[in-house]
Amino acid sequence: MVISSQPTSIDRKLSKVEGIKDRSNLLREPMASEVLLDTTHFTEDSIQLLKFHGSYQQDNRDNRVRGQEKDYSMMLRTRTPGGFVPPQLYLTLDRLSDQYGNHTMRITTRQAFQLHGILKKNLKQTIAEIVHNMGSTLTACGDVNRNVMSPAAPYHNRPEYDLARTYANNVADLLTPQSGAYYEIWLDGEKVVSGEEDPEVVAARKRDINGSNIEGSIEPIYGPHYLPRKFKICVTVPGDNSVDLFSQDLSLVVLTNEQGELEGFNVFAGGGLGRTHNKEETFPRLADPIGYVDKADVYDLVKAIVATQRDYGDRSDRRHSRMKYLVEEWGVEKFRAKVEEYFGQKIAPSKPLPQWKYLDFLGWQQQGDGKLFLGLAVQNGRIKDEGDFKLKSALKRIVERFNLPLKLTPSQDVILFDIDPADKSKIQAILDRAKIARPTKIDPLARYSMACPALPTCGLATTEAERVSPSILARVRSLLDKVGLPNEHFFLRMTGCPNGCARPYLAELGLVGNGPNTYQVWMGAAPNQTRLAKVYLEKLNIDDLETVLEPVFTYFKKERQLGESFGDFCDRVGLDAIHQFAST
Ligand code: SRM
Ligand code: SF4
């Protein structure tokens, strides 16, 4: 099979972004020239390319004044597979957030860090310092594979966790763009590598499997036009759904034998959450099981799936270009058959798996090699100092003094690990002085909640999320107390628009921005994130939160089965029955 170097998928007109990629000379121009100009912001074509390099142009929406230039700055996102952040990188990001950013660092829902508020003139220096200190921002955004997730728990006595970490790194390496643009532009051509690539990964990248490599291209897997849209992957272990595996384009589940040796992977594909209000043709979708692959063939299968999306994903309409739509429209059988053409062999049936569980790994825990780890809840992932609460200073102090590496979790929390048990009390004392609550003292409603950044940085937000989430949680808590459910908690996730960055469609209660102070209300996802929620209400003015939710919680209290979670209850009785109860 010969693969064309042009996007092949459709006869329809290609989207504007395809033209920008085509003209860019593998992610260089016009951005490379504009970086050098003394301007406050980039032009449209460069903004699109900038994403592949890990940055978004934003403006502070609180400071918009009609007729005046926007208050531009850049958001930078790290590439940190499995959320691993070495101490040197952590301390560098901490310093850069003060020197060039808005004095906060934000843990994302995909185990990365974001710095906000970096002026264009400081972007090159900031990226260069990240790369020189064991980090990278390459492909943190853009139409490529994004940060690869894996469970954040740093267990060292459970081989499947070590394997998930290793394969998350390797898959990230396999799908790293090979164009030297990143190093040319941000590091004046100096190629800095923070670790050796596994030779199997290097070989797999070059290996041509049934035409899935693009002949003669510098980008053997992606080709010169990269993917039609962002692509998201996780690697997890049986039973551990801390990574929300059903929301990903591609999920691998590590399978080991009784000795803990790797045998292969179960593969899921076609998940994704982004949607647009009032456009029925856009929807969240859970990934389907695709089959099982032996360890020797896993990279070839990953490439075959990526190549299928590369060649058949919709490059004309960016609202329809995620792989989930390909899987939905073709059906799993056709999708699997097409992947098999690239893969060059049949995909074996999936192996049995246990039930999935949500895990967040908070608190002090044994890591299995005599050392400890400590998971700390970070509200909406924002690491900051505010009044007496000094999370940013405390983490800096601890990482500096004890030289500890960190793991960022998919629930926007942080884990410090490799802790000598002799240091436990000293570390706890620093945290106590900085008023960092112990996980057992945090309201579980807050512990299991997430909110996206939304206003003022996100250009797509239609309303608030992160900034109002503490007050919303407090109001929901009061309401639960009022209806006689004082100890109840569930997954509440909130976003400023329907793109779904805090994965609200997998929450038991999801609030999805739908205009100023207004949210679409979703209910009924499973507490282990294996079932999607459904729309309960199109538009909730946030002032009416109590009026709308009180009858819902009252009905839940009255009719729930023993131990039934809020999401399972909503799913069992159905949203129509809840509406009916609420209207009586
Ligand atoms: Fe997201 C766009 C923030 C995880 C779906 N997302 C954005 C942008 C870059 C807005 C923009 O395009 O201008 C947001 C920047 C806000 C800011 O001010 O920082 C943004 N997304 C985030 C983060 C930081 C939210 C968070 O609370 O942590 C997450 C960064 C993850 C990372 O480290 O890579 C983040 N975004 C997600 C997720 C969840 C996930 O990946 O597990 C989703 C839903 C899953 C999915 O992709 O299907 C998600 N973000 C989107 C979409 C909708 C994509 C779609 O298929 O329609 C957009 C808009 C777009 O791509 O056009 C978007
Ligand atoms: Fe922005 Fe919407 Fe994502 Fe929130 S969900 S960060 S508002 S794009």
Q: Which atom of ligand 1 is nearest to the CA of 318?
A: 62
492 has pLDDT over 80: yes
Q: Measured from the CB, is residue 511 less than 6 Å from ligand 2?
A: no
Q: Is 357 a residue of the active site?
A: no
Half-sphere exposure of 434 (CA within 13 A, CB side): 22
Mean pLDDT over 497-507 rounds to 98
Q: Rounded CA gap, 577 and 572, in Å?
A: 10
What is the reported pLDDT for 11? 59
> How far, in Å, from the CA of 334 to the mean position of ligand 2?
33
Domains and CATH numbers, the chain: 16-343 (3.30.413.10), 363-436 (3.90.480.10), 446-583 (3.30.413.10)
- Digit-coded pLDDT (tens) for 138-179: 999 999 999 999 999 999 999 999 999 999 999 999 999 999
Q: How confident is the model at residue 7 (pLDDT cuts 50, 70, 90)?
A: very low
Question: What is the token pair recorded at 400?
Answer: 């500096």
Q: Does the beta carbon of 452 sit less than 6 angstroms from any atom of ligand 2?
A: yes
Asked whether 260 lines ligand 1 (CB < 6 A), one says: no
Distances (CA, A) of 246 to 69, 167, 267, 449: 42, 18, 11, 18
Q: Inter-axis angle of helices 199-206 and 159-174, to 10 degrees?
A: 40
Q: Residue 524 to residues 143, 206, 333, 493, 547: CA-CA distances in angstroms? A: 32, 45, 29, 12, 19
What would the two tokens of residue 110 be? Answer: 């995909």
- Whether 139 lines ligand 1, by a CB cut-off of 6 Å, is no
Beta-strand relationship, 389-390 and 385-386:
antiparallel
Q: Which residues are 487's β-sheet partners?
A: none
**Which of these is catalytic: 230, 285, 336, 392?**
230
Top mutation candidate among 499, 505, 511 for ligand 1, by most atoms within 8 Å of CB:
499
- The answer to whether the CB of 477 falls within 8 A of the CB of 521 is no
Distance 148 CA to ligand 2 centre (A): 20
Amino acid at 223: G
Q: Give 518-554 as a DSSP string.
A: EEEEEE---TTS-S--EEEEEEEEGGGHHHHHHHHHH
- Looking at the predicted structure, is the pLDDT value of residue 236 above 80? yes
The label of the residue with tokens 């570390």 reads: 427
CB 76 within 8 A of CB 127: yes
Choose the residue to mutate in 77, 282, 460, 511 for probing ligand 2, maximizing ligand atoms within 8 Å of C-beta: 460
Give yes or no: 158 in active site: no
Q: Which 3 state secondary structure label does DSSP give 360? A: coil
Nearest-atom number in ligand 1 for the CA of 275 is 57
- Which tens digits make up the pLDDT trace of 504-519? 999 999 999 999 999 9
Residue 320 in contact with ligand 1 by CB distance below 6 A: no
Distance CA 473, CA 445 (A): 7
Query: Ligand 2 center to residue 497 CA distance, Å?
Result: 5
In the three-class reduction of DSSP (H, G, I as helix; E, B as strand; rest coil), residue 153 is classed as coil
Q: Pick from 267, 263, 247: which is nearest to 255 by CA? A: 263
Given the CA of residue 458, which atom of ligand 2 is nearest to it? Answer: 1
pLDDT at 193 over 80: no
E-assigned strand segments in 176-311: 233-236, 250-256, 262-269, 288-294
Q: Confidence class of residue 192 from pLDDT cuts 50, 70 and 90?
A: confident
User: For atom 13 of ligand 1, which residue has the closest CA?
Assistant: 459
Catalytic site residue 458? yes
Calpha distance 437→378 (Å, rounded) = 10
pLDDT surpassing 50 at residue 9: no
3-class DSSP assignment, residue 163: helix
Residue indicated by tokens 């989207």: 15
Q: What is the mean pLDDT of the chain?
A: 96
Query: How many degrees, rounded to 5, is the angle at CA 479 between CA 552 and CA 490?
Result: 70
497 is catalytic: yes
For residue 496, the CA-to-ligand 2 centroid distance in Å is 5
The pTM assigned to this predicted structure is: 0.97
